Chain A
Amino acid sequence: MSKREILFVEAIREALREEMRRDEAVFLMGEDLRIWGAPLGQTKGIWDEFGDKRVLDTPISEMGFIGAGAGAAALGSRPVVELMFIDFFGIAGEQIFNQAPKLRYMFGGRMKVPMVIRTLIGAGMSAAAHHSSSAYSIIAHMPGWKCVIPSNPYDAKGLLKTAIRDDDPVMYFEHKMLLNTKGEAPEEEYTIPLGEAAIKREGEDATVVALAWMVHKALKAADTLSEEGINIEVIDPRTIVPLDKKTIINSVKKTGRLVVVDEDHERCGLSAELSAIVAEEAFDSLKAPIKRVATPTVPIPFSPVLEDAVIPNEDRIIKAVKEVTSYKASK
């Protein structure tokens, strides 16, 4: 495969273009996709190639057009619908919670809903409480959604192509702090299966599970920790529904310690779920209590100082890893 570096945002555009060329049933629908090319350029240039029919600009009617996406998918289209920011999901809540992911089940498995929703997540831009949420835990909690949360251009492209080809509703989360990061991605055709975690760095002292932007923070923390002789294993699940439990559990069996880094809120969030899975399935391997480094359950604040105070960072990750690696059980 050729060595090539592209931006995360280019990886998204390439995946969309390639899938639209491959399959006539794929079309894009959302707000400001044509002239803007979506708020951060994720669809730039696609309208020029595919025209009005395949790229639908919608009114600001998230419930209407997400429901319409699900309805079109139910009859055989494969729409890729953009929910500009995950924070807007409440506007479309009825269709996201009650319809798209429940239809197949309610109707006895006799139809399918091959729709992808692409949506921006994450803090880091002082975008405040209505444009900075992660909220994938809420979606993963609902029966019927597959959830894809890539951390680099290679995964972003390969997983988006798989999501579009998948026959179930898939929510695809794009972290806004990653869109302008570069990474290797070959020009040749490839896809990545859902439900396969990536071991980003091997280590034996503790397992750190992180997603999206947090993967990069965990890897930086790993560099610092290794200078002090602590080697962590960093795992990026890449998709949380389906979840590659095996890779996480095998890692914890090796290291005996788990730190979950999660940009989503702590209460009832993904960090709680991953902790529970490991406690249930790898309890005997644990040498220390599980630690969570998550965003406290507060709305994401505006001021950079306040935002920095709640979003997990390297210092908090390092502190948590040191706590688990230095833990001594009191008898």
Chain B
Amino acid sequence: MEINKEKLLEMYRGMFVIRHFETKTKELFAGGKIPGFVHLYSGEEGVAVGVCSALRKDDYIGSTHRGHGHCIAKGGDVKYIMAELYGRETGCCRGKGGSMHIADFDVGIMGASGIVGGSIPLITGAALHFKYKETDQVAVAFFGDGATNQGSFHESINLAAIWDLPILYVCENNKYAESTSISSVMRVKTVADRAEAYGVPGITVDGNDVVAVYEAASDAVERARKGKGPTLLECETCRHHGHFEGDSGTYRTKEMVEECKKRCPIKRLGKFLEDEGFATKQEIEDIEKDVEREIAEAIEFADKSPWPKPEDALKDVFVTPYY
């Protein structure tokens, strides 16, 4: 697959936005600026960016509790996402969703879910809608390895298979379902092996190689757009931080986390860009500086944004007024 400089730099920027957003989120959460629970995406950027780079704006994604990366990669505005994390009126969900429920239908983010596997049936429904309306849009379900043991995964991928729905099931296999090693709760060797049970293609790629993810996702997207049905795409990756902020992380040794950080998808693409002559060190630093400024602005926006009005707690249950 031909991949040009512009696309590569775009992917570098995309991953760096997520990383820097998460680094700042970690600090802001520790500093008490962000309430609730936070699950950081750092380390897995290659998956969200690789997959979303293969999508159009009018394609839709379903996200997870570890969803900041997906939403940013799909085109969510970091200002409104950060304001949502802060619980402010200007947040993309007006402060009603928070970190685990980010949505922006205008850019194809159908919403993140706080329930493991919870968004998989919903985004499968988006694919059903596309097929019913005879559009050529594609849906992507993001989920972790843990979710592949949920009934929602099994039921949804089976539905998509029998109806040839235009959807990618993208498993971010970071090897741990919360604190539980996936190998202790799954008898088959890879998540992709599960695809055979549904009669769909199952592919495993290195999720920390954004170009590999992009290429595999592009093939699966093309297949889906042509009406040939779903693909299960397993992206092997790892997270730099705990399951949530505050996780003691005792199920992984320090060496394992260090090893994970060495596999960083951003450093890897940066090295590739320099080694292959796609970009100079300066060009990469310029991108990073620009991103740092963008995130700083987003934080300032969130920090200065008003809180929602208490009476708004009763709004938006129904389209009709509350009762």
Give the interface of A toward B (CB within 8 A).
Answer: 27, 53, 56, 58-59, 61, 63-77, 94-95, 98-99, 103-112, 143-144, 146, 166-168, 195, 241-243
Which positions 115-164 of chain B face chain A at CB distance < 8 Å?
115, 117-126, 128-130, 132-133, 151-152, 154-156, 158-159, 162-163
Q: Would you call A70 and B125 a contact (CB within 8 A)?
A: yes
User: Given A63-B151, A77-B129, A94-B115, do A70 and B318 touch, yes or no (CB 8 Å)?
Assistant: no
- CB within 8 A of B129: which of A59, A67, A72, A98? A72
**B40 CB within 8 Å of chain A:** no
Closest B residue, CB atoms, query A66: B121
Q: Would you call A68 and B316 a contact (CB within 8 A)?
A: no
Cα separation A143 to B314 with both chains bound (whole Å): 11
**21 A-B contacts, Cβ less than 8 Å apart?**
A27-B132, A53-B132, A59-B159, A64-B124, A64-B154, A64-B156, A68-B124, A68-B159, A71-B122, A71-B128, A71-B129, A74-B125, A98-B114, A98-B115, A99-B115, A99-B118, A108-B92, A108-B94, A108-B103, A110-B93, A243-B323
Q: Would you call A68 and B125 a contact (CB within 8 A)?
A: yes
Q: Would you call A107 and B111 a contact (CB within 8 A)?
A: yes
Cα separation A167 to B220 with both chains bound (whole Å): 34
**B315 CB within 8 Å of chain A:** yes
Query: B124 contacts which chain A residues (CB < 8 A)?
Result: 64, 67-68, 71
Cα separation A105 to B103 with both chains bound (whole Å): 11
Query: B130 contacts which chain A residues (CB < 8 A)?
Result: 75
Cα separation A65 to B156 with both chains bound (whole Å): 8
Q: Would you call B126 and A74 a contact (CB within 8 A)?
A: yes
Q: Would you call A67 and B156 a contact (CB within 8 A)?
A: yes
Q: A63-B121, A70-B122, A168-B319 are in contact. List 15 more A-B contacts (CB 8 A).
A: A59-B159, A67-B156, A68-B159, A71-B125, A71-B129, A72-B128, A76-B133, A99-B115, A99-B118, A103-B122, A104-B316, A105-B96, A107-B96, A109-B94, A168-B318
**B168 CB within 8 Å of chain A:** no
Cα separation A103 to B103 with both chains bound (whole Å): 10
Closest A residue, CB atoms, query B155: A64
Cα separation A68 to B316 with both chains bound (whole Å): 22
Cα separation A48 to B10 with both chains bound (whole Å): 51
**B97 CB within 8 Å of chain A:** yes
Cα separation A61 to B133 with both chains bound (whole Å): 23
Give the interface of B toward A (CB within 8 A).
Answer: 60, 62, 91-97, 101, 103-105, 110-111, 113-115, 117-126, 128-130, 132-133, 151-152, 154-156, 158-159, 162-163, 315-320, 323
Interface centre among B94, B122, B126 (most CB of A within 10 A): B122
Query: B94 contacts which chain A residues (CB < 8 A)?
Result: 108-110
Q: Would you call A99 and B156 a contact (CB within 8 A)?
A: no
A193, chain B: closest CB distance, angstroms? 11
Cα separation A243 to B120 with both chains bound (whole Å): 33
Query: A58 contacts which chain B residues (CB < 8 A)?
Result: 159
Interface centre among A65, A74, A106, A243 (most CB of B within 10 A): A106
Query: A112 contacts which chain B residues (CB < 8 A)?
Result: 319
Q: Would you call A103 and B128 a contact (CB within 8 A)?
A: no
Cα separation A288 to B64 with both chains bound (whole Å): 53
Q: Would you call A73 and B118 a contact (CB within 8 A)?
A: no
Query: A110 contacts which chain B residues (CB < 8 A)?
Result: 92-94, 103-105
Closest A residue, CB atoms, query B318: A168
Query: B97 contacts which chain A residues (CB < 8 A)?
Result: 106-108
Closest B residue, CB atoms, query A68: B125
Closest B residue, CB atoms, query A168: B318
Q: Would you call A63 and B125 a contact (CB within 8 A)?
A: no
A53, chain B: closest CB distance, angstroms? 7
User: Given A67-B122, A71-B121, A98-B115, do A61 and B158 touch, yes or no (CB 8 Å)?
Assistant: yes
Closest B residue, CB atoms, query A58: B159
Closest B residue, CB atoms, query A76: B129
Q: What are the 7 A-B residue pairs with the smallest beta carbon separation, nearest first?
A: A71-B125, A67-B121, A64-B155, A109-B316, A108-B94, A68-B125, A108-B93
B197, chain A: closest CB distance, angstroms? 13
B149, chain A: closest CB distance, angstroms? 14
Closest A residue, CB atoms, query B126: A71
Q: Would you call A111 and B103 a contact (CB within 8 A)?
A: yes
- CB within 8 A of B103: which of A53, A72, A99, A107? A107
Q: Would you call B159 and A61 a contact (CB within 8 A)?
A: yes
A94, chain B: closest CB distance, angstroms? 6
Q: Would you call B132 and A72 a contact (CB within 8 A)?
A: yes
Query: B155 contacts which chain A residues (CB < 8 A)?
Result: 59, 61, 63-65
Query: A243 contacts which chain B residues (CB < 8 A)?
Result: 323
A151, chain B: closest CB distance, angstroms? 21
